[in-house]
Every structure is written in C-alpha cells, then in structure tokens.
C-alpha cells in the first residue's frame, strides 16, 4: 500500500463526536502496551501519528485518522490496564459497546494480540464480544520479531486455539519492527473496505 496522505480527523468519546465522513472504517483494538500504536504507525509509514503510550490506559478517546481518503482508522483505547479505576473501566466499556454496536461505517476490527504469549482473558472476552455482535475481525499477532521464525506456527496455533478464532477471521503474523505482515494486512483491509 502506497501511503499518500494521512490526516488526523478527530477524537471522541461518544457517537455524536465521531466523524460523519462516509469513509469505510477499520477499528484497531488491543490490550494496553500490546503494540497497537506501533502497528498503526507501521501501517501508515509514520513515526508518531498514533501515540505510543507512555502512560498505558490514559488515552480514553477513540482517535480517527483517514488514510489516502479511502479508509478511516479508529484507534480504540487499550484494555486490560490494571491501574484503571472501576469507574473509568465502566465508562470505557460503555464507550466501546456503543462504538462497536452502533458505528455505521465500521467494516471490521483489527484485534491485536502479542504473538509471544497466549491471549489473555481480556483478549478472549473482546473477541467473543465482537463475534457476539457479528463484527468481522482480523486478528493480528504482533511482535513476531521477538520469536524465532521456526516457532511462529506453534505460537499462531496457540493464538487461534485460545481465542477460538472462526475460519472466516484471518490471523496475520506481524512485526512493527521488520514490517512482516504489513502487505498482507493492507490486503485484508482494502478487501473489506472496497466490498
């Protein structure tokens, strides 16, 4: 994918604040610190467009970026950060629930997990929630550069089995360092936004 233009559009916490722009949308979700910002930056060839989180769990808005005026990326705040209060967690839950269930332009969610470890209970809950609402998901297992190539398939299998990934949802191995998986992920995104 040749990146010609990336624009930060807006941030918001409720439906009325999200862009009205009719671009098809792809949301990115994952546990705090999983490598979501790095993945977004790798996808759009930018160093700091999405902010890598110095304070995990702090970014509580959904941030919207348009790419090549063809697709909208919605960067959803990371989940599973232990130091978030119950009140914050509940607000986050409501925001996500309304975003995922009511956001009309949403085509697919990229759910990011860490290839090195079995998906957490939060990862499993997120995937179940998305499937419960019939939202197409692309699972991306990132930080692949931290695992030797010979072990990639074994780790992918653990990811697929733990999440109980449906055959219709692809699982893509990725690294923001080496960019492995970048072209494959762009292929999946473009296929889903041009349908």
**Residues at the interface with ligand GDP (CB under 6 A):** 30, 32-38, 52-53, 56, 78, 142-143, 145-146, 175-177
For residue 13, give the DSSP letter: S
Q: How far is the CB of 10 from ligand GDP (least distance, A)?
A: 19
Of 60 and 70, CB closest to ligand GDP: 60
Instruction: Give the nearer residue to ligand GDP in terms of CB position, either 55 or 154.
Output: 55
Tell me the CA distances in angstroms from 125 to 15, 88, 149, 189, 190, one per residue in order: 23, 18, 29, 23, 27
**Cβ-closest position to ligand GDP:** 35
Q: Which is nearer to ligand GDP, 63 or 176 (CB)?
A: 176
Q: At its nearest, how many Å lie between ligand GDP and the CB of residue 177?
A: 4
Least CB distance to ligand GDP at residue 60 (A): 13
- Residue 142, both tokens: 């990132």
Closer to ligand GDP at the Cβ: 122 or 145? 145
Q: Which of 89, 70, 72 is nearest to 18 (CA)?
A: 72
Phi, psi of 56 (to 5 degrees): -55, 145
> In whole angstroms, how close is the CB of 69 to ligand GDP at the nearest point?
25
Q: What is the DSSP letter of 11?
A: E
Do you know the residue count of the chain?
A: 195
Reading the block at residue 135, the tokens are 């939202």
């Amino acid at each position: 994918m040749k990146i010609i233009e990336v624009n930060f559009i807006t941030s918001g916490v409720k439906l009325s604040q999200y862009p009205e722009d009719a671009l098809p949308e792809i949301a990115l979700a994952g546990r705090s610190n999983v490598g979501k910002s790095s993945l977004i930056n790798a996808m759009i060839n930018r160093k700091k467009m999405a902010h890598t989180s110095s304070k995990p769990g702090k970014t509580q808005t959904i941030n919207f970026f348009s790419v090549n005026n063809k697709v909208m990326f919605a960067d959803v705040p990371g989940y599973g950060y232990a130091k978030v209060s119950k009140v914050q967690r509940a607000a986050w839950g409501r925001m996500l629930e309304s975003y995922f269930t009511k956001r009309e332009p949403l085509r697919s969610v990229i759910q990011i997990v860490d290839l090195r470890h079995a998906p957490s209970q939060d990862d499993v809950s997120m995937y179940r929630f998305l499937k419960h609402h019939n939202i197409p998901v692309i699972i991306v297992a990132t930080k692949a550069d931290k695992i030797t190539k010979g072990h990639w398939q074994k780790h992918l299998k653990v990811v697929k089995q733990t999440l109980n990934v449906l055959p219709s949802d692809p699982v893509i191995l990725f690294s923001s360092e080496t960019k492995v998986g970048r072209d494959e992920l762009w292929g999946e995104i473009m296929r889903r936004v041009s349908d």
